[in-house]
Chains A and B, each alone.
Chain A
Amino acid sequence: MLTTWARAAAPADGASPSDEVGAAWQLMADHLGRDAYVRLDRVRGVPTREQRLAQAVVVVDYQPVTPERLHAAEAIFADLARGEDEIAAQAAYLQARLYQVHYSQPDYGRAAELYRALAARQPDSHWAQLGLVKLGLLQLYVLPEPAGPAARLAAVAALLPRIKEEKLQRDVHLQLGQAGTFYGLPLDAVLAHLIEVNRIGGLVGQIEEDLAIQLGELSLRAGHYAAARTYFETYLRDFTPNLRSVTVRRRLAEMAAQEAKAQEGRP
């Protein structure tokens, strides 16, 4: 864990408001939102922009979450978003998030509008770029326009040049690859995205292993046998053997048999 596992404590004597806000962020990072709320409530004086952001953020997951609290948080986010600093970008991003995931009835259209506005206003901000990733997800699956699968993927691919951070580009490529297979689009188009994800790397958890197999299996289905072999062999080398590796070994054996048969047929 990154954190200190600390429980909320009374503010230290003489701690500055900035220190108190820092301690509250730490509590939020430790999933101790209720303690962070209490801590922020004790800070005296005119609240800074960061303090106001922290106070609104903590409310987003303060149980029980109520529409009134979320609306109050949105008002603060909207106000803070008028600035031009990172806090403004964070606030604008969070305002969009409220419409995408926090309100009990999501409004994907409004969320998309807010992500677009943030990207237009502060295009280089991390939060604007992350917002473009989220906008891409909405376009892939739920926004009414563009309607067809190919058009949805094209619209999201068009966001890529605006996303400068490589890790976020990777996440968009991954979702383009997954959505492409979901909609049954041509395998070569799908594979291009997954290959890019593999190049950037850094995935953690089950998706890392899934991707390693997908690259082999989709290459095989697309008829790229040499590439499929390489990906499958890499998978067998890099991952703990499990039942999927039994299937992968069978795929390799079947490919070898096919190749041998093809060799026999040649003059």
Chain B
Amino acid sequence: MNGRLRHLGLVLAALGYAWALGWVFTRSAPVVASRPVTIRFAHWQIEQGPPDGMKAVIRRYEELNPRVKVEQVLVPGRIYNQWLRTNLVGGTGVDLVEYGVWLDGMTDIPARYFEPITDQMLRPNPYNRGTPLEHVPWVQTFTDGLQYQRVNAPSPGQFYCATMTEVSERLFCNQELLRAILGSDRTPQTFAELRALFPQVTAYAARTGRPIFALAGSRDNASWLLQFLLQGCMMQVSQRNDRYGSLALYNWDALGHYLEGRWSYRLPEARAGLTMMREVSVNMKQGFVQSLRDAATQEFLRGDAVFIFAGTWDGTSLRSQATFPVEVLRFPQPTPSDPVMGPYLYGRFADGGGGTAMEFYLNKLSAHPQEAVDFMHFMTSVEGSQLFTNHSGWLPATRTVQVPPAIRPYYTPLDCYSFGAEYMMIGASVNMAIMRNFHLLVGPQGSVDRFVDAMEAVMPAAARTDLYKEMTNRSLIVRPQDVRLMALAALGRRAPQNAALVLARERLECAQTQSEALMLKMARQLADAGPVK
């Protein structure tokens, strides 16, 4: 008996040991890291979708690259700016950083902390081998050729980032509620039809006693709409001011043009856009300007709003959380007969298609720049982008990737116009002034006149501040370029047969000259404008 018990004890001990071994090797973290290199990337796309998409990309990348571990760092948008700057300044920044030129007070970041990836962009992406993009330079594998990023590159002629998605702005519709109000599923196709729907929604709310509004409201959603309407109604102004003939205005153009007196919010075109914004905003919940996008999302998901105007970045969250069918529409646009915007209409204005986004930059101080760029290559390859698209519900930024039917309505066909400037986020100070005075346009006591008067009182100073910032940011780029140019020349002297060094120097000289010309032109505009009177 004793012997059998001892035997059973030994068996149990052996089984326990085997289980412990199995656990250690399969579940627990290894005592010594099996992957010698760890790279980290950070972004603020913590909506439903992108984190899963990136997780799928990481899983596959790690299968292909057993040496490298990739960590995704999710940072809420509200603290992203502070988090990013603190880490970059402290030298603890992640290897790949999501950044957008419109982040408040962050315009100096690319110049200070990001490394150009121009040479890689001009060569094929190695992870596209065996695909139709095998021999295509990396930059041309993006659906927009990185148009928006090239426009905003801190140094003209240099590439700095790779993008993951294409975004657009859409009107998401609660079909059940619409049917209850109208008795039909017909969605508005023009702004006139949307305008006609507003009183019907108000009447339905009064009849049922429910707090129903035509559009879910928040400061964020309304500001996206204002931006959309302003760029639409100002297209003819943009064309008049396009003296370079490039059919697009840059932010610094819009700022310089303001100082030259070429546009203001008093223009009838601008007032038309503001009038339309006011018209839409009175069909949102009172006081919406105090709330952020989460509040509008909840309002829509509760069934208290027929529509929500949002970016497709909110699409996965809206559609997966709604308990009712959500239809995705393009915002109904005014026609030439529209009494407000008709006289100024150039054509259908862009509700997307302007470029790709969720852009990642290489930190200059990355400890593993080669691996970080390699991961960028993979995540934007046909395979990586397909994984991202399938798991995130976001559009791809890479050509030839198959788009699932559910998100095809997010695509903006090339049937609309954009001339770049949207007269809102053209600079941090201008944008802040707009948001500070937004309530004067959309609040209960608001009006176009009150908003315009308030804006025109502060714009001369705000435009000067932003243009000056555009100029000084470029000096952050230009100065270190002198050091690199001298180094490339010296290295070229030591290796005269190295044509790549000569090419790199020539490209850098060309880019630097363009930056300097821009800086000097801005200096001229600021000098001509003089101080604020």
Contact = CB atoms under 8 A, between A and B. Distances in A.
Place the interface of chain B in its size category: 35 or more
Interface string B121-145: 0100000000000000000101111
Interface string A217-236: 11001000000000000000
A133 interface: yes
A232 to B, nearest CB: 10
A193 interface: no
A105 interface: no
Interface in B74-109: none
Contacts of B153: 205-206
A214 B246 contact: yes
Contacts of A179: 517, 521
Interface string A171-202: 10011001101101000000000000000001
A36 B20 CA distance: 51
Contact of A61 (B242, B479, B523): B479
Contact of A54 (B414, B417, B490): B490
Nearest to B511: A205
B156 A60 contact: no
Given A22-B491, A101-B475, A243-B418, A60 B159 contact: no
B486 A22 contact: no
Interface in B132-190: 140, 142-145, 147, 150-151, 153, 156-159
Given A5-B370, A50-B490, A101 B478 contact: yes
Contacts of B416: 243, 246
Interface in B446-461: none
Given A181-B243, A247-B417, A171 B484 contact: no
Contacts of A28: 483-484, 486-487
B514 interface: yes
A134 B417 contact: no
A101 B486 CA distance: 15
Contact of B513 (A86, A171, A216): A171
B414 A246 contact: yes
Q: How large is the interface on A (under 10, 10 to 19, 20 to 34, 35 or more residues)?
A: 35 or more
B417 A31 contact: no
Interface in B374-397: none
A141 B520 contact: yes
Contact of A86 (B414, B493, B523): B493
Contact of B245 (A5, A97, A167, A214): A214
Interface centre among A21, A65, A97 (most CB of B within 10 A): A97
Contacts of A138: 520
A213 B151 CA distance: 14
Interface in A92-132: 94, 97, 100-102, 126, 130
A142 B350 CA distance: 38
A242 B516 contact: no
A88 interface: no
Given A5-B370, A137-B517, A246-B415, A101 B479 contact: yes
B510 interface: yes
B417 A204 contact: no
A167 B505 CA distance: 11
A175 to B, nearest CB: 5
B475 A22 contact: no
Nearest to A18: B494
B120 interface: yes
Given A61-B483, A214-B245, A242-B414, 18 more contacts: A1-B373, A2-B488, A2-B504, A22-B491, A57-B483, A57-B487, A133-B509, A134-B513, A134-B516, A171-B510, A181-B244, A184-B243, A205-B150, A207-B156, A209-B150, A213-B245, A240-B140, A240-B147
15 contacts: A22-B491, A26-B487, A28-B486, A31-B115, A61-B480, A102-B482, A138-B520, A170-B510, A171-B509, A171-B513, A206-B151, A214-B245, A239-B145, A240-B144, A243-B350
Interface of A: 1-2, 5, 21-22, 25-26, 28-29, 31, 33, 50, 53-54, 57-58, 60-61, 65, 86, 90, 94, 97, 100-102, 126, 130, 133-134, 137-138, 140-142, 167-168, 170-171, 174-175, 178-179, 181-182, 184, 202-207, 209-210, 213-214, 216-218, 221, 239-248, 250
The 6 closest A-B pairs by CB, nearest first: A217-B245, A240-B145, A205-B157, A206-B150, A28-B487, A141-B520
